[in-house]
Structure 1
Amino acid sequence: MGTEYKNVRLTADAYETLKRRKRDDESFSDVVERLVEERPISDLAGALSGNDVETIREAREASYEAYADRRSEGLTDRSQ
């Protein structure tokens, strides 16, 4: 019996994210399987101090805001 295939709809942003994570020697199926097999973040519970967590949250929020600003200006390419 051959490999069975299923169609999956992605937003353009989700597709671009998946494409960036794809390695040259991988199919999209390969990259999805690799990403879902990675350790869940919950495995890291307790590894960071409260100060570390707050620093990460602040950096993440700043990153989201900077991306939103670039997107509103039409500059969504990460190299810009």
Structure 2
Amino acid sequence: MATKTISLDEEAYERLKARKQEGESFSDVVKRLAGERSWKEIAGILDDEEADALEAAIGEGRSRSRERSDRLADEFGEAVGSDERAE
């Protein structure tokens, strides 16, 4: 994995260090504090039934999104075609 070097002033470093938990790298601390969750953190929160329901809801949402995208593309294509015919 690629890495980047950043500079922190003493106060920022001490604040970050104070929030560092045992076994965490500074990268882990930054990710946690930035609000990003890793899959490791959420594993086990849902039981199998809840996970299946969530997966189904996500699938349905994606399907609706694809259908809407296709519909808008068709409508846009028709609108462009009618503009070209009017000229």
What is the TM-score when the length of structure 2 is the normalising length? 0.42
Q: Which has the larger radius of gyration?
A: 2
Q: Which structure has more helix as a fraction of its residues?
A: 2
